[in-house]
C-alpha cells in the first residue's frame, strides 16, 4: 500500500527512530510500513494519523501504483 509517511516524517525533521518512539513500535516497523512491505493494524494506523494530525486516508492509498479502478 502506498503511503506518504516518509514525506510527512521528513517535513517534521524526524528520523525513523523518532517516529517509532512516538508510536511505541520498532524502527524496523516504521521502515516496513514506509516501504509498503507491512500494512499497519487499524490501531497503529489511527496512532499514525494522530501523530500527523490527519485522517488515515490522507496517509495511505489502497490503490496500487498504476492500477486502474474497476
Domain boundaries, the chain: 2-57
The CATH number of the domain covering residues in 2-57: 1.10.260.40
The residues facing 3 across adjacent strands are 60
CB 30 within 8 A of CB 19: yes
CA angle 31–65–2, rounded 5-degree value: 30
- What pLDDT digit, counting tens, does each position of 24-68 carry? 999 999 999 999 999 999 999 999 999 999 999 999 988 755 444
Reply yes or no on whether the pLDDT at 5 is more than 70: yes
What cell was used for 53?
494530525
What is the per-residue DSSP string for 23-40?
A: HTS-HHHHHHHHTTS-PP
Predicted structure pTM score: 0.84
Contact by Cβ (8 Å): 14, 8: no
Q: What is the arithmetic mean of pLDDT over 11-33?
A: 98
Amino acid at each position: 500500500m502506498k503511503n506518504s509517511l516518509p514525506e510527512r516524517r521528513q517535513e517534521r525533521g524526524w528520523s525513523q527512530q523518532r517516529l517509532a518512539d512516538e508510536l511505541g513500535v520498532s524502527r524496523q516497523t516504521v521502515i516496513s510500513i514506509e516501504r509498503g512491505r507491512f500494512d499497519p493494524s487499524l490501531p497503529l494506523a489511527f496512532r499514525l494519523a494522530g501523530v500527523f494530525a490527519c485522517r488515515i486516508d490522507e496517509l495511505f492509498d489502497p490503490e496500487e501504483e498504476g492500477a486502474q479502478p474497476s
